[in-house]
Chain A
Amino acid sequence: MTTATLPDLAPSPMPAPAALPQADAAPRPALIEAKNVSVFYGAFEAIKSVSLDVSTNEVVAFIGPSGCGKSTFLRSINRINDMVRGCRVTGELKIGGQDIYASGVDLVTLRRQVGMVFQKPNPFPTSIYANVTYGPRLQGVKKRQELDAIVEDCLRKAAIWDEAKDRLHTSALGMSGGQQQRLCIARALATRPSVLLMDEPCSALDPIATAKIEDLIVGLKKLVTIIVVTHNMHQAARVSDRTAFFYLGKLIEYDETSTMFTNPNQKQTEEYITGRFG
């Protein structure tokens, strides 16, 4: 993988890579801290007082049946839910120590720091190059050389450089679904985020494309903290360090993925994971 050798991403407060295995139970510094977060759509409480934290450079999976609120919670982390009319968030949600729902928070900065990849690949109907440079251009990067470098860097990080390098100026819509999704990941990386939110990134993809995205998630965690919503239990088990199980808007259980899948605390978690409901 080329990812490791490439320049570092955002000025994320990355701890010295103490390449220790799982063994160290010492809590790493929390990057995202949610305390009693509730999300309302009008009068409906979609998320009920959820508290959890996510550490730097880990992959967290949100699982749960459809409508359990996991996507809603994800979408409140970059405040993209603000676009939904009648959506309201209470409680405290901090990223890097800053309350993102405090007044005066700059949403533009927030969303650059917290990138997002959506369920359905959604490249803009422009060229591959224009897709990746969209974010940097908004930030005022104009020089061709700089943009070229960003494009190559991000496409490499998203493991799609080899497939895209000869067609950078052709339409992104000419790519396959899996390629489009990796392009969307590259596009999100181009704003140098410290957190990457992925909302069921593989649900529209075939198994081979899915495997590529999963590899990518594991590779990218050196660079960014990743939260991935998934319906696929095996996927959660394969890619995540910790897993959060949501049910009916509540966080039922949140633990190391290995624990969740072998020895869950809650009966509901076990029943969901073993496929008895959901």
Chain B
Amino acid sequence: MIADRADRSLHDRLTRGASAVAYTLSIGFTVVILVTLLCVVGYLFTLGFSSLSLGFFTHLPTGAAQGDVGGMKHAVLGTLILIALASIVGIPLGLLTGIYLSEYDTGSKLATPIRFICDVLAGVPSIVVGILGYELLVRPLGHYNGYAGALALAFIMIPIVARTTEEMLRLVPGNYREASIGLGATKAETILQVIMPAATGSLVTGIMLAIARVAGETAPLLFTALGSRLLSTDPNEPMPSLTVQIFTYATGPSPDQQKLAWAGILVLIGLIFVLNLAIRFAASRRVGSKR
């Protein structure tokens, strides 16, 4: 009896010890990650905020390497245009692919290769996508252009949106599908009116991930949209973008331009943040109005 109890208490103590260790470790690593994140953000703010001014959004580059280097109005606008064009192409294609994989893959042999290709595409280095864009859309046209940049970004978005859409739709309980079909809904009606609304929140997350990812891409744009110091709203021309502009300034010799690059990074992060909130707000309102 007594030995038994001693045994048990030893076992208890070991278990409790292991549990405490695991608990401490997980807290510890969380703190490490948070501190790292705070460092990055803090560093960004200290460096970026000081060179951020209203002029950043209202002025174009002056061309001067020192003193008043101007703003990045053109790049902010260019990035927004590129993201919008990329989203127009990439989001619907990604969503449709995801819907196909999740809802229409009834024993077809097509789904497995599609899924595999998506996974491979999601892992392709973005510079490769840039070169593809260059070969397919820049060389034949004879000049760098915004469309090529947007399509290159869309190409990166599609697999991300497709795979998250598939995963999220699969999480919608099967009994919603049965209920809807049982009420005389067609498959399309079921998907549009029950499954997608039930998954809206997570679909939006997937879309946001894709947008955030391409908003920060530089490599695919270097070979396609090229970048520009001028204000351009015509996607048939070379398009400036925040990332490329940041890259140019940050790798250049001018300290003043380097400072502006820091401000650019801050603005880029802010832009993604605002986009995220805006899309979430829009999505929640649309779903809300249906009720």
- A: which residues have CB within 8 A of B? 78, 80, 83, 85-86, 108-112, 115-116, 118, 120, 122-127, 129-130, 134-135, 138-139, 169, 184, 187-188, 190-191
Q: Does A139 lie within 8 Å of B184, measured CB to CB?
A: yes
Q: Does B178 lie within 8 Å of A83, measured CB to CB?
A: yes
With A122-B175, A169-B291 in contact, do A116 and B182 touch (Cβ < 8 Å)? yes
Query: Residue B253 at the A interface, CB < 8 A?
Result: no
- B: which residues have CB within 8 A of A? 106-107, 173, 175-186, 189, 193-194, 197-198, 290-291
Query: In the assembly, what is the distance between CA of A87 and CA of B175, in Å?
Result: 18
With A85-B106, A122-B173, A126-B290 in contact, do A134 and B182 touch (Cβ < 8 Å)? no
With A124-B198, A134-B193 in contact, do A111 and B181 touch (Cβ < 8 Å)? yes
Across the interface, name the chain B residue whose C-beta is closest to A120: B175
Q: Does A124 lie within 8 Å of B291, measured CB to CB?
A: no
Across the interface, name the chain A residue whose C-beta is closest to B193: A134
Enumerate chain A residues within 8 angstroms of B177, measured Cβ to Cβ.
83
Across the interface, name the chain A residue whose C-beta is closest to B106: A85
- Looking at B176, B179, B194, B291, the one whose CB has the most chain A CB atoms below 10 A away is B179
Across the interface, name the chain A residue whose C-beta is closest to B189: A138
Query: In the assembly, what is the distance between CA of A197 and CA of B194, in Å?
Result: 22
With A115-B183, A135-B183, A135-B184 in contact, do A126 and B197 touch (Cβ < 8 Å)? yes
Cβ-neighbour of A124 out of B106, B107, B184, B194 (below 8 A): B194
Enumerate chain B residues within 8 angstroms of A129, measured Cβ to Cβ.
291
The 10 closest A-B pairs by CB, nearest first: A112-B184, A122-B175, A116-B182, A111-B184, A135-B183, A127-B291, A122-B179, A108-B184, A138-B185, A85-B107
Q: Does A112 lie within 8 Å of B183, measured CB to CB?
A: yes
Cβ-neighbour of B186 out of A78, A80, A108, A130 (below 8 A): A108
Enumerate chain A residues within 8 angstroms of B179, measured Cβ to Cβ.
118, 122-124, 184, 187
Enumerate chain B residues within 8 angstroms of A188, measured Cβ to Cβ.
182-183
Query: In the assembly, what is the distance between CA of A107 and CA of B8, in Å?
Result: 63
Query: In the assembly, what is the distance between CA of A226 and CA of B186, in Å?
Result: 24
Q: Does B183 lie within 8 Å of A111, measured CB to CB?
A: yes
Enumerate chain A residues within 8 angstroms of B106, measured Cβ to Cβ.
85
With A130-B291, A138-B189 in contact, do A80 and B182 touch (Cβ < 8 Å)? yes
Q: Does B183 lie within 8 Å of A130, measured CB to CB?
A: no
Cβ-neighbour of A191 out of B181, B183, B198 (below 8 A): B183
Query: In the assembly, what is the distance between CA of A78 and CA of B178, in Å?
Result: 11
Pull 24 A–B residue pairs with CB atoms less than 8 Å apart, ordered by A: A78-B182, A80-B178, A83-B178, A83-B181, A85-B106, A85-B107, A86-B107, A108-B185, A111-B181, A115-B183, A118-B175, A122-B173, A124-B180, A124-B198, A126-B290, A126-B291, A138-B183, A138-B184, A138-B189, A138-B193, A139-B184, A187-B179, A187-B183, A190-B183
Enumerate chain B residues within 8 angstroms of A138, measured Cβ to Cβ.
183-185, 189, 193
Enumerate chain A residues within 8 angstroms of B175, measured Cβ to Cβ.
118, 120, 122
- Not counting A80-B181, A135-B185, A169-B291, a sample of 13 additional A-B residue pairs whose C-beta atoms are within 8 angstroms of each other reads A80-B178, A83-B181, A115-B183, A122-B173, A122-B178, A124-B198, A134-B185, A135-B183, A138-B185, A138-B189, A138-B193, A139-B184, A187-B179
Enumerate chain A residues within 8 angstroms of B198, measured Cβ to Cβ.
124-125
Query: In the assembly, what is the distance between CA of A126 and CA of B286, in Å?
Result: 13
Enumerate chain B residues within 8 angstroms of A110, measured Cβ to Cβ.
184
Q: How far is the CB of A235 from chain B (nearest CB, A)?
A: 22
Query: In the assembly, what is the distance between CA of A275 and CA of B184, in Å?
Result: 38
Enumerate chain B residues within 8 angstroms of A109, measured Cβ to Cβ.
184
Q: How far is the CB of B282 from chain A (nearest CB, A)?
A: 19
Q: How far is the CB of A77 from chain B (nearest CB, A)?
A: 11
- Looking at A78, A83, A109, A123, the one whose CB has the most chain B CB atoms below 10 A away is A83
Across the interface, name the chain A residue whose C-beta is closest to B175: A122
- Looking at A109, A122, A123, A127, the one whose CB has the most chain B CB atoms below 10 A away is A122
Q: How far is the CB of B170 from chain A (nearest CB, A)?
A: 15
Enumerate chain A residues within 8 angstroms of B176, measured Cβ to Cβ.
122, 124-125
Across the interface, name the chain A residue whose C-beta is closest to B185: A138
Across the interface, name the chain A residue whose C-beta is closest to B107: A85
Enumerate chain B residues within 8 angstroms of A169, measured Cβ to Cβ.
291
Enumerate chain A residues within 8 angstroms of B193, measured Cβ to Cβ.
134, 138
Query: In the assembly, what is the distance between CA of A123 and CA of B291, in Å?
Result: 14
Across the interface, name the chain A residue whose C-beta is closest to B186: A108
Enumerate chain B residues within 8 angstroms of A85, measured Cβ to Cβ.
106-107
Across the interface, name the chain B residue whose C-beta is closest to A114: B182
Enumerate chain B residues within 8 angstroms of A122, measured Cβ to Cβ.
173, 175-176, 178-179
Query: In the assembly, what is the distance between CA of A127 and CA of B175, in Å?
Result: 17
Query: In the assembly, what is the distance between CA of A118 and CA of B185, in Å?
Result: 16
Enumerate chain B residues within 8 angstroms of A108, measured Cβ to Cβ.
184-186
Q: How far is the CB of B108 from chain A (nearest CB, A)?
A: 11
Across the interface, name the chain B residue whose C-beta is closest to A79: B181
